[in-house]
Each structure stands twice: as structure tokens, then as C-alpha cells.
Amino acid sequence: MSRVRVWYRRWRQLIGEAWRFGIVGAANVGVNFVVFNALALTLFPSGELKANIVATAVATTTSYLMNRGWTFRHRKTSRVPREYVLFIVFNAAGLAIELAVMGAAKYGLGLTSLLALNLAKAAGLGLGTVFRFWTYRSFVFAGRPALAPPVTPAVEPAGVPVGITVAAPPRVRELASVEAAPAGRPARR
């Protein structure tokens, strides 16, 4: 396979993952903001950072399920417990990035209005999202993607100019594998 095809396939896969990650992320940002604002207006009226922790925990759970089932479904492994632990660890790091931005806005800049804190949350969420995508792709859902189907072997039949190849029909490939089997061992089919 040519390097251009390999490069194209990798970029196409990356773009597809990023697009699906963006949709899952947008849905979970909605969940995160709804839960955050509901808690900030009811249970935690002066504890916005606590409300953010709870909102992030809820969004993290739905995010894991969506990312495992859709965004990175082709990278599934049998190591679900490991994936989930890493997912939680990297989400905690993403939450720390988000809380650092919110804390800097609230305690460093003295911005205490709910609008200002929502804007700070959005900025922190953006930085955390870039971090999360990279870590999910590199560490959490690091199972190898399914490989493309094998390329049909080519043969040069007699009378065809050199350099022009013709795909061998399936029966020819099957017979070639039978002939290539070592003596005393049956050929695999």
C-alpha cells in the first residue's frame, strides 16, 4: 500500500474520531452546564466549584459510555476496567484544568457573577477538551483499529506487459495456498 494511502487513511480516521468526539463532547457539555447551573441555583448557591465537580462527574459517566460505544468503537479492547480507570483519571486532570481557570476567575480576578463563572467554565472546558481528546485517543481507547481487508494478490499472466497486474481469482489463490503447504501438513483454508 502506498504511503499516500496510509497517510490518507490515518487522517480520515483522525477526522472521523474528532468529529464524533465533538458531537459527544457537545452533548456532554450540555449535560454539564445544565447540571452545573441547576446545582448552582439550588443546592450549592455559593459553592459553584462543588456544583462543577458534581456536574463533571455526571457528564464524565455519559461521556465514557458515548465515546466507548461510538467515537472509539473501532478501538475497543477487552480491557474495560483499565479503560474506565484511565478515563476517570484523565477526566479528573481535565476537571483540574477547568477548575484552575474557574478558580483564577473567581478568586484571582474577583469575578463572582454566574455569567462570568460560566464563561470561565467554558474557557477551562475548551482547554480540558483538547487534553481529553489527546489522552483518550493515545491512552484510554488505544486498542488497535480494525485493519482493512487484505489486498488481493496480483499475478502477471503470460502475454500481459510487465508492470500491468491482474488480480488472481479466489480459486487461484486457494490453489496457490494448497501448493505452498509443507509436506505432511494439510493446507489451511
- The reply to whether 145 falls in a domain is no
DSSP state of 187: P
Grid cell for residue 72: 472509539
180 with 126, same domain? Answer: no
Split into its structural domains, the chain has a count of: 2
Average pLDDT along the chain = 79
The overall pTM is greater than 0.75: no
Q: What is the pLDDT of residue 96?
A: 93
> Within 13 Å of residue 167, how many CA atoms lie on the same side as its CB?
5
102 with 156, same domain? Answer: no
**Structural domain for 183, as ranges:** 152-189
Please report the sign of the dihedral spanned by the C-alpha atoms of residue 120, residue 121, residue 126, residue 131.
Answer: positive
- pLDDT tens profile 90-134: 989 998 999 999 999 999 999 989 899 999 989 998 999 899 989
- pLDDT tens profile 137-181: 888 887 765 454 444 445 555 555 555 554 555 554 444 444 454
Least Cα distance to 101 among 126, 116, 123 occurs for 123
Task: Tell me which of 99, 114, 140 is where a domain ends.
Answer: 140
CB 53 within 8 A of CB 94: no
Least Cα distance to 55 among 141, 137, 122 occurs for 122
